[in-house]
Amino acid sequence: MHPLTFSLLALASLTVLARASVQKQFQLSEDLYESTRFDLSNLKYEHSQITPYLNLSSITSKSAFQTLSHPRFPRHSVRVKKSDFCDPTVSVYTGYLDVDDGAKHMFFYFFESRRDPANDDVMMWINGGPGCSSATGLLFELGPCSIDINNISENGTMWNPYSWNKEANIFFLDQPVGVGFSYADFGETVETTEDAAKNIHAFITIFFETFKQFTGRPLHLSGESYGVNGRYLPLFASEIYDKNQVAQAEGRPTLNLQSVLIGNGITDISTLYLGRYEIECGTAALDVPFQQIGKCVRMKTALPRCQAAMKSNCIDQFDSMNCRATVDFCDNELSTGYWDSGRNPYDISKMCEGDDLCYTEQGAIGNFLDLPSTRELLGVESPGNFTGCSPEVGRNFNKHMDKWAHPTQYYVAGLLERGIRVLIYAGTYDWQCNWVANKLWVDKLEWSGQQTYLVEEWRNWVVQGQKAGETKKAGNLTFATIRGAGHMMMHVPHDKPAEAQAMVSRWLAKEDI
């Protein structure tokens, strides 16, 4: 794989889907979606609570969207319908979050819990990029079904016994606009994580305050790569928490945000390259380093210069021009050797196969989702083909130096200090957003529990009598590795889906990993 195939922006994406090879566009007839509007503007507040309005079970149409609006979000609305997609054992819903007076449309999937949907917690899963569809998580990792590349099934997907909806209700959201089936009427995109956070808060609030069964239900934000890593989830969670404080002061309902689960992320950019060096040239991933000695010497020589420039130009005082030059230097000196090796950047134990994303399933997902029958089942309105990962969205985020200009780890510290539980987890075979880089930034994270965390001993965590990885905990912060897993650690059946599901199950139950 040529190094120019990926910018550092793309290197952090890790959960990308290839743009579907299907070129034909499908447009559903407008009369199929004559929407029924449910408007909350006339709701009365009693005892500081919104009067319960609907139950999700009241959404029964599989063809027409029902539209939800809210007086506090006059420029947002949510359209939802029932669907038979993916998991026949639970109720499934799909729809759009419409933003900016209906000019932008973000697609979502919602699966009820297989255990107790009336009482189980709610999770939201977001993939990274920036600009990559959460259909990767849905159909390649932790969703109720997985893409069938062997043509075994009749409907193109296979049942996933390790799905995270085993014990939780779960959303998969294609965001920002321009990703997956999300689109804009006039081609605009969201360009910063801060802008995206406002839309996420509006979406969850409208959904939770419309459907009464979710009032007070514990909410968990989860994802991987850019999605949870350094940017999306810490900022999304902070937006929800801060808006909760305003709502509470005004006597309005709040969202019961409980935790954030950050998988294989890049929260603190300063530790990324040191981690990659250790993965390639040390024994942090493999028992014997795979990288050539000469290339490791070159990396070792460049590393101090990279770290010093990163600290000076990107961290201590952000300088856009100099930070860009620093990232280019670090990338050229410390990443080129890996691309030359031909290895899968998401799993160091494997060679790259398939397309540039190194998994044959990625292209299959795009082809499957663009089938006319699939689009009709989902209620897709997007005039174009499914977009696994949008270069345009990525360029817009990169233009603003989104992941370099803002020290996201401080948001994580702020959440911890305010009682929000944070789980940082990483597969040990991931190179892109590797576990060493994650360990380093968590170790140096400044918060009131830092010293307690540093002196805690690592311990093995076990699934079915076998070591699954190592973990340590202090206060609201937990770090866990998943041994022998790549970036897509829930990838069925190749990685560690059973271990990942066990980890999440314990987390939701507030048990030690």
pLDDT band at residue 113 under the 50/70/90 scheme: very high
Window from 100-104, 163-167, 376-380, 467-471 with minimum mean pLDDT:
100-104
Q: Report yes or no on whether pTM surpasses 0.85.
A: yes
Question: Are 204 and 124 in contact, with CB atoms under 8 Å apart?
Answer: yes
Query: Rounded CA gap, 491 and 486, in Å?
Result: 9
Exposed (0-12), middle (13-18) or buried (19+): which is 483, by Cβ within 10 Å? middle
Q: Which residues contact 436 (CB under 8 A, 6 or more apart)?
A: 271, 274, 275, 278, 279, 284
* Nearest alpha-carbon partner for 206 in 171, 234, 245, 235: 171
pLDDT band at residue 44 under the 50/70/90 scheme: very low
Query: What pLDDT does residue 200 have?
Result: 92
pLDDT band at residue 297 under the 50/70/90 scheme: very high
> What percentage of the chain has pLDDT greater than the value 90?
68
Query: What pLDDT does residue 393 have?
Result: 72
**Is residue 35 predicted with pLDDT exceeding 80?**
no
Query: Rounded CA gap, 314 and 296, in Å?
Result: 25
CATH architecture of residue range(s) 9-270+404-508: 3-Layer(aba) Sandwich (3.40)
Q: Where are the domains positioned within the chain?
A: 9-270+404-508
Window from 37-46, 336-345, 422-431, 478-487 with minimum mean pLDDT:
37-46
pLDDT one-digit tens code per residue, 205-217? 999 999 989 989 9
**Is residue 3 predicted with pLDDT exceeding 70?**
no
Query: What pLDDT does residue 190 have?
Result: 64
Place of tokens 């054992």: 89
Per the prediction, the chain carries an average pLDDT of: 86
**Is residue 439 predicted with pLDDT exceeding 50?**
yes
**Is residue 6 predicted with pLDDT exceeding 70?**
no
Q: Which residues are catalytic?
A: 225, 430, 487
Integer angstrom CA distances of residue 426 from 173, 227, 386, 432: 22, 14, 28, 11
Question: Are 465 and 474 in contact, with CB atoms under 8 Å apart?
Answer: no
Query: What pLDDT does residue 229 have?
Result: 53
Average pLDDT over residues 385-393: 80
Question: Are 138 and 129 in contact, with CB atoms under 8 Å apart?
Answer: no
Query: What pLDDT does residue 134 have?
Result: 93
Query: What pLDDT does residue 226 have?
Result: 57
pLDDT one-digit tens code per residue, 190-203? 667 787 899 999 99
Average pLDDT over residues 285-311: 96
pLDDT band at residue 493 under the 50/70/90 scheme: low
pLDDT one-digit tens code per residue, 144-160? 999 998 888 888 999 99
At 237, list the tokens: 């969670």
Core vs surface per residue 234-253: b (16+ CB within 10 A) or e: bbbbbbbbebbeebeeeebb
pLDDT one-digit tens code per residue, 254-286? 999 999 999 998 888 889 999 999 999 999 999
Query: Rounded CA gap, 183 and 93, in Å?
Result: 19
Q: Is beta strand 477-482 parallel, antiparallel or unpaired with respect to 466-474?
A: antiparallel
pLDDT band at residue 128 under the 50/70/90 scheme: confident
Per DSSP, the three-state class of 203 is helix
Query: Rounded CA gap, 129 and 412, in Å?
Result: 20
